Amino acid sequence: MKDTIVGYRNKAIHGAYTHILKPYFFRQDPEDVHDQMTRVGRELGTYTAGKFITETLFGYENEMLRQTVFGIDFKNPIGLAAGFDKNAEMTDIMPSVGFGFAEVGSVTGYPCAGNPRPRLWRLPKSESLVVWYGLKNDGCEIIAERLSKKHFLIPIGVSVAMTNCAANVNPRLAVMDFRKAFATMEPVANYITVNISCPNAKGGQPFLAPHRLDYLLDIIDEVKTSKPIFVKISPDLSDEKIFALLDVLHNHRVHGIICSNLTKNRHNSAIIDPEIPKFGGVSGRAVRDISDQMLATIRHREGDRYVLVGVGGVFSAEDAYRKIRLGASLVQMISGMIFEGPQVISEINRGLVQLLKRDGFTNISQAVGADV
């Protein structure tokens, strides 16, 4: 499709989303909408016609965005972040929506119903979500079986975490749970993310303590794999704490860092809604600047030792490009898609091409870390 036609198409869909669909969705419970979208995505992905229509509405391709990372081909750098496709039900439709890759999960060692509802809220003024799902998912055995039957058209990463249950308050049991999820999901993933930063599980975030992370990664190191391994970190860490965690990563089989998860910190000038739930982690614009700052800090300290994935508050091509120039090879998003509409993925990719041309780059990989 010609670039100008893609531009008009995106504007038309953006208008329809902003004026019709979004007001309709935002009147309903956010988790109900999420469940409906999961069903629609699953159905569309089942049929060739569904994928064709979706691709016609949302697709965009440009060779300037293609890069190889760890020998894996990414047709563009924009991926779906963990938490939207918790049970890996939408991997067939995500390529047609325009994503260059997708991360499913977080998947845990055992099935988990998550925290009681309500557990997802919108902060419309702050363009953020408050998430208190508590790692709801079908568990690693069911999800591995589901993914084993799929043929991926884009790289699919799997985020693994410890089951949200009382037993895992004991870090030794939590580590064995992590190991089970990791070992079970490893054969069906293109890459694995060890999620140590879920803000919503019983027992908190024990593996943000360096000695515990060291122990967890010792156990993960025992599982044979040739797949790239990422660690996803919290944005609520001081530089000192980040450096201590990075020192631990140096001693283990870790290839990349995902920066970042949801923020728990309510003292954040980007949160402007008058009411905010007491529980849960905050996504979207509220986490954008702290994630960017952390990305820059890590890139500055580590150079290109790790592949960095930037996530948090990506709503536009400029947001994605800033993360790329700060050192991210890949970018992920969820909230931007909910607040702006699903055409935003194509808008971002198309905008990235324009920004690369403006700055004299011929490929996205040349812009990675340009500002550090």
Ligand X SMILES: Cc1cc2nc3c(=O)[nH]c(=O)nc-3n(C[C@H](O)[C@H](O)[C@H](O)COP(=O)(O)O)c2cc1C
Given 112, 165, 198, 259, the catalytic residue: 198
By CB under 6 A, tell whether 81 contacts ligand X: yes
Cα–Cα–Cα angle for 275, 277, 334, nearest 5°? 100
Among 59, 134, 199, 284, binds ligand X (CB under 6 A): 284
190 touches 156 (CB < 8 A):
yes
- Residue 92 near residue 69 (C-beta atoms within 8 A): no
Is 339 a binding residue for ligand X by CB under 6 A? The answer is no
Nearest-approach distance from CB 63 to ligand X, in angstroms: 26
Q: Between 69 and 198, whose beta carbon lies closer to ligand X?
A: 198
* Minimum CB distance to ligand X, residue 158 (Å): 11
Q: Across-strand partners of 129?
A: 122
Distance between CA atoms of 362 and 359, rounded to whole angstroms? 9
Q: DSSP string of 110-168?
A: S-B--SPSP-EEEETTTTEEEE---S-B--HHHHHHHHHT---SS-EEEEEE---SGGG
State the Rg of the chain over Cα: 19
Q: Residue 306 and residue 153: Cα distance in Å, rounded?
A: 25
Element holding 216 (H helix, E strand): helix 210-221
- 198 a catalytic residue: yes
Residue 81 or 90 having the CB closest to ligand X:
81
333 binds ligand X (CB under 6 A): yes
Task: Report the residue from 312, 341, 351, 369 that binds ligand X according to the rule CB under 6 A.
Answer: 312
Interface pattern 230-269 for ligand X (x via CB under 6 A): --x----------------------------xx-------
- x/- binding map, residues 156-175, to ligand X, per CB under 6 A? ---x----------------
Closer Cβ to ligand X, 131 or 143, answer by number: 131
* Terminal alpha carbon distance of the chain: 36
For ligand X, which residue of 155, 280, 336, 351 counts as binding (CB under 6 A)? 336
Instruction: Please tell me whether residue 104 binds ligand X under the rule CB under 6 A.
Output: no
Name the token pair of 194: 């060890």
Active site residues: 198
Which residues are near ligand X by CB under 6 A?
81-83, 105-106, 120, 129, 131, 133, 135, 159, 195, 198, 232, 261-262, 283-284, 287, 311-314, 333-336
